A and B are shown apart, each in its own frame.
Chain A
């Protein structure tokens, strides 16, 4: 996969969420137990949040992601209120008011129009939503698979472990973009299948190895021993004790997967291989196949908004992940001495 290469060192210390009070507490009702757990989770979340806020880059990336989320919401709102669908539809619209396409930015079309007379701002906003959907789907699939595989492989060990780790080695060695180029050219991949492919490749690949090594360090903790002594089954221990402690690290790798998913989608759309209606990659593809890129700065609105959006959103998720890394991995934190 094109997961970012710099997997941080495997955190040796325990992750943010404490495991909650032991189940041995007999007199308590379930409700109070749940309440206590929520309080604990909230406290650890607040602690993690304040560490995250210390990182300036982390805050900046969070702001950028928030801005893009607003953009994604803005499109349907604008379409319902001030934009009529004949002119502003990202795929079928046509800017009748302009005598020449592509038209440079104006009040009616703040980012101009593309060579086919479609509003660039509308395309940009429309694509934002699908990028989020793609990125988050891929990330959820990756994390669901990787967490399960990591926890199961670490817990059972032996042949299951060997199988999944060799599989992960194989997937890491595969260059993802080349594979996706072949897949998307031979089969008609739409956004959902692309997210699924990226998610599965990421989930069984490098992320599984990282989460497994973290799960190994959790497996030898005393509370796992305690749970076993208390009579917890394999399934219970994996589900209630190992996986919740893997979640902070999983969240970190979700961020990286989002980056690689958005990037892969943009590259494939740029090459014209993907079956999607509109995306940032397709916007650049349209400009490139029309020969407008070598016009340099003359037709900037055809390339700069889409290119900058891909770069900004990818790097925001990536830098957000790195800031999160400092929360999850205490050894990276700046010393207060």
Chain B
């Protein structure tokens, strides 16, 4: 297992290196360079233009530029953003990446659960009304033109009903008198979410370790107590209202992203289930007289899960792409929106930085799925 992890990490480093290289040469291949901004200005004499080029290091040969770029990237220095001058690219990205991560992670987890649950339900009862409704509405949502759908969601829930804010990350009116920064509050929220998840997993794990079925019933209430405690602490922290404001802005993008991406998992689970329900062990489980629900969940669905997890990589990429679009439509200041704004304003350092970060993001997601797969399928043991 350790050997596998080490090899996987090595592979990731190599891929990341390829992505950095690709981003560099892509930006190099486009017409013009950093100094072209000044090249058209007739007030700048030619020798100053030459100096400018030299100060950017553009007079050096390409391979030397590449090596310098590589060295800087590895040390975490992506240069200074043109659009957010004088903030360094790294600074901008460190602020934006967690926002994308939250949007993407919550939507992926939600859509995976919903998709898996619906998928096994429609495979269990083929030909019912549920199958047709779920398949057609799922496929429609899956192939719906995401920007138009997102705008429709905004129009319905934010504009007409007024339940949720229209877009953006926070409401300036709420934050006018706040003496803490949004990044601080958001960081605390992330920390809380992380601690809560860890707590829930720990409770589940420990109760399972005891091996007593009676104790497992207490898992739900215990986790709920933890959640209430977290809410209690937040409500007395003084910034609870601010956190609530961010939360309110998060709901609509997450719901939209979940809606467009759950169908992939659902249809795949259905196909996978259709294959497992024909297996002998399912018939054996039925013959034993196990209740229908247990046959479905413990025997058929458990084994149908494996191909679904394998294909989770595709869903992840789909969700990353989806989150880029969602971020743009909802003006959610994450990496996707940053990337779009950067390419529109020719903010080339930020373009390269955002590309590398989005690549890193999908690489990490990819790796996590691979490791998850090893845990889910006890038949696979990487040496």
Contact = CB atoms under 8 A, between A and B. Distances in A.
Contact of B268 (A5, A187, A206, A267): A5
A33 B155 CA distance: 63
A80 interface: no
Which of A172, A182, A332 gathers most chain B CB within 10 Å? Answer: A182
Interface in A278-322: 280-281, 284, 288, 293-294, 296, 303, 306-307, 310-311, 314-315, 318-319, 322
B340 interface: yes
A307 B235 CA distance: 43
Contact of A293 (B19, B155, B318, B339): B155
A57 B126 CA distance: 14
Given A5-B264, A173-B359, A296-B155, A307 B148 contact: yes
Given A177-B325, A178-B339, A311 B160 contact: no
Contacts of A280: 145
Interface string B141-180: 0111111110100010001100000000000000000000
A331 interface: yes
Contact of A332 (B18, B274, B351): B274
Contacts, number: 164
A310 B271 contact: no
Contacts of A59: none
B145 A266 contact: yes
B318 A4 contact: yes
A3 B339 CA distance: 21
B259 to A, nearest CB: 13
Contact of B26 (A183, A271, A284): A183
B336 interface: yes
Interface of B: 15, 18-19, 26-27, 29-31, 126-127, 135-136, 139-140, 142-149, 151, 155, 159-160, 264-265, 267-268, 271-272, 274-275, 278, 307, 311-318, 320-321, 324-325, 328, 336, 339-340, 343-344, 351, 355, 358-359, 362-363, 366
A70 to B, nearest CB: 21
12 contacts: A5-B318, A6-B264, A6-B268, A7-B311, A175-B317, A177-B324, A178-B324, A181-B343, A263-B145, A267-B145, A332-B271, A334-B126
A224 to B, nearest CB: 26
A230 interface: no
Contact of B339 (A182, A206, A303, A314): A182
A174 B321 CA distance: 10
Contacts of A271: 328, 340
A314 B143 contact: yes
Contact of B146 (A170, A181, A267, A335): A267
Nearest to B19: A174
Contacts of B324: 175, 177-178, 181
Nearest to B277: A335
Contacts of B160: 296
A8 B339 contact: no
User: Most chain-B CB neighbours within 10 Å: which of A1, A5, A183?
Assistant: A5
Interface residues of A, number: 56
A4 B362 contact: no
Given A6-B267, A182-B355, A271-B340, 4 more contacts: A5-B268, A169-B15, A319-B139, A335-B278
A-B pairs, top 10 by smallest CB distance, nearest first, are A5-B314, A185-B343, A6-B268, A307-B148, A186-B30, A314-B143, A5-B315, A177-B321, A315-B143, A310-B145
Contacts of A319: 139
B307 A9 contact: yes
Given A170-B15, A186-B343, A315-B143, A57 B321 contact: no
Interface of A: 1-9, 57, 169-170, 172-179, 181-183, 185-187, 206, 259, 263, 266-267, 270-271, 273, 280-281, 284, 288, 293-294, 296, 303, 306-307, 310-311, 314-315, 318-319, 322, 325, 331-332, 334-335
A3 B313 CA distance: 11
B317 A5 contact: yes
Contact of B366 (A173, A176, A296, A332): A173
Contact of A259 (B143, B265, B344, B362): B143
Contacts of A310: 145, 148
Contacts of A294: 155, 159
A24 B363 CA distance: 51
B344 A185 contact: yes
A293 B311 CA distance: 36
Nearest to B361: A175
Given A173-B363, A318-B143, A182 B314 contact: no
Most chain A beta carbons < 10 A, residue from B145, B268, B355, B362: B145
Best-buried of A174, A183, A270, A288 by chain B (most CB within 10 Å): A174
Nearest to A1: B317
Contacts of A335: 278
Contacts of B265: 5-6
Contacts of A170: 15, 18
A4 B339 contact: no
